[in-house]
């Protein structure tokens, strides 16, 4: 589910980084040690093949050296792990706190989020009930979009893609129209001419950008030859949600498969479990322009056990 007009999550806007100036001719920077995987005038089939081979080649990754930047605050150290098809875990800590500031994740059945500003609740939603739930209207970005945002999206060969079109900056642009419960959405995928995703935009039927993700400082893993960005910017203009993640040094395809504790929903002492798919759940929104308040649940909830969070930091 893409970004919604109401943003009741835990993050506040970041300062995004813009670049570029006028040039006499388009120039595309080739990072060092990056082989060109596409011909000068590629077909859509060639772009789909190269992008998907790289994205699907990354079945998992982990990093203990990531940082999450929040407006008005210094960078927060974070640990991130992913395993396809949809397992994800992001936990952010600060030196001043006695525990995590943020815990966001997804497993095969559901996704969840918890943050210190609303420590009394662990919010979760089963994947199969997300699209029709209130969660779809208040959660600006689900873990599945975070995985794709990190340059790991794929291009479905069965979809009616348009392009590739060469942009003035030399990048390749592919347009894909999807039908959603909110009407048609156009996904614009920007691909480096050497073969990896650098940007993804989603536009509604009115042409408004509702979600944007971009990657910078792409690096090639020496062991596998696979390419990932180091910096990921996520922007949801309708809600004002913005985030920057520095992945640091990433280990690719080292996370073991299986039901690890890493993918279990956390259990924090005294916190209740709030099911965002509960049809009786209602939320309270503030009018603050920069600080986003958490949702206030009026529906049913389940008390969580009092054990500590189920988290195992990956060793390096």
Strands (E), the chain: 60-69, 76-83, 87-93, 100-106, 110-115, 121-126, 161-166, 172-180, 183-191, 197-203, 209-216, 219-220, 227-228, 231-236, 241-246, 251-252, 272-275, 302-303
Q: In this structure, what DSSP letter does residue 128 have? A: H
Q: Tens digit of pLDDT for each residue in 100-135?
A: 888 999 999 999 999 888 878 999 999 888 877 776
User: Which is nearest to 154 in space by CA: 50, 42, 51?
Assistant: 51
| Token digits of residue 196 | 């990896």
pLDDT at 262: 93
Pick from 114, 110, 112: nearest CA to 92: 114
Which tens digit of pLDDT belongs to each residue from 49-60? Answer: 999 999 999 999
Using alpha carbons only, give the angle 127, 132, 135 rounded to the nearest 5 degrees: 70
pLDDT score for 103: 93
DSSP 3-state assignment of 251?
Answer: strand
Does the N-terminal peptide bond of residue 13 adopt cis geometry, omega within 30 degrees of 0?
no
What is the pTM for the complete model shown? Answer: 0.78
Determine the longest span between alpha carbons in the chain, in angstroms. Answer: 63
C-alpha span between 289 and 37 (Å, rounded):
45
What span, in angstroms and rounded, lies between the C-alpha atoms of 144 and 153? 10
Residue 313 has a CB neighbour count (10 Å cut-off) of: 11
Q: Classify the C-alpha dihedral 236-146-85-108 as positive or negative.
A: negative
Instruction: Report residue 24's pLDDT band, with 50, 70 and 90 as the boundaries.
Output: very low
pLDDT at 87: 94
Question: In the prediction, which pLDDT does 138 show?
Answer: 63
Cβ–Cβ < 8 Å for 274, 122: yes
Query: Which residue has tokens 């082989």?
Result: 35
pLDDT, tens digit (0-9, with 9 covering 90-100), for 194-209 = 999 999 999 988 999 9
The total number of residues written for the chain in this structure = 316
Instruction: Set out the domains of the chain in order of their start, with CATH numbers.
Output: 44-303 (2.50.20.10)
Rounded CA-CA distance 106/83 in Å is 10
Contact residues for 18 (Cβ-Cβ < 8 A; gap 6+): none
Whole-angstrom Cα distance, residue 115 to residue 68?
Answer: 14
Q: 227 versus 151: which is more confidently predicted?
A: 227
Backbone phi, psi, residue 103, to 5°: -140, 115
Backbone CA torsion sign across 294, 296, 300, 305:
positive
Q: What is the pLDDT of residues 170-193, one digit of tens each?
A: 999 999 998 876 788 899 999 999
In angstroms, the CA 124 to CA 265 distance is: 8
Return the half-sphere exposure (C-beta side, CA atoms, 13 A cut-off) of residue 228.
30
Task: Give the residues across from 235 on adjacent strands.
Answer: 212, 242
Q: What is the pLDDT of residues 261-314, one digit of tens each?
A: 999 999 888 899 999 888 888 765 443 333 233 344 444 444 443 333 333 333
> Distance between CA 20 and CA 198 in Å, rounded?
15
Beta bridge mates, 189 = 174, 200
């Amino acid at each position: 589910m893409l970004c919604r007009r109401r943003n009741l999550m835990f993050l506040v806007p970041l300062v995004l980084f813009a670049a570029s100036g006028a040039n006499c001719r388009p120039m595309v920077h080739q990072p060092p040690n990056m082989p060109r995987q596409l011909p000068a005038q590629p077909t859509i089939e060639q772009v789909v093949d190269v992008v998907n081979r790289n994205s699907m080649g990354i079945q998992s990754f982990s990093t203990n050296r990531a940082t999450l930047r929040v407006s008005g605050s210094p960078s927060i150290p974070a640990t991130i792990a992913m395993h396809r098809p949809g397992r994800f875990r992001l936990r952010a800590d600060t030196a001043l706190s006695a525990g995590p500031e943020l815990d966001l994740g997804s497993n095969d059945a559901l996704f969840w989020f918890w943050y210190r500003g609303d420590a009394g609740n662990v919010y979760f939603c089963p994947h199969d009930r997300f699209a029709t739930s209130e969660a779809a209207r208040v959660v600006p970005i689900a873990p599945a979009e975070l995985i794709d945002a990190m340059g790991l999206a794929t291009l479905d060969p069965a979809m009616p893609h348009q392009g590739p079109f060469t942009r003035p900056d030399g990048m390749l642009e592919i347009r894909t129209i999807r039908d959603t419960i909110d009407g048609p959405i156009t996904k614009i995928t920007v691909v480096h001419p050497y073969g990896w995703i650098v940007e993804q935009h989603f536009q509604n039927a009115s042409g408004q950008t509702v979600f944007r993700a971009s990657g910078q400082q792409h690096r090639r893993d020496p062991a596998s030859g696979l390419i990932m960005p180091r910096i990921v910017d996520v922007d949801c203009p309708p809600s004002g949600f913005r985030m920057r993640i520095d992945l640091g040094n990433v280990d690719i395809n080292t996370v073991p498969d299986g039901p690890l504790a890493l993918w279990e929903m956390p259990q924090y002492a005294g916190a209740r479990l709030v099911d965002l798919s509960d049809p009786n759940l209602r939320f309270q929104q503030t009018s603050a322009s920069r600080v986003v308040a958490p949702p206030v649940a009026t529906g049913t909830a389940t008390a969580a056990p009092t054990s500590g969070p189920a988290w195992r930091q990956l060793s390096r």
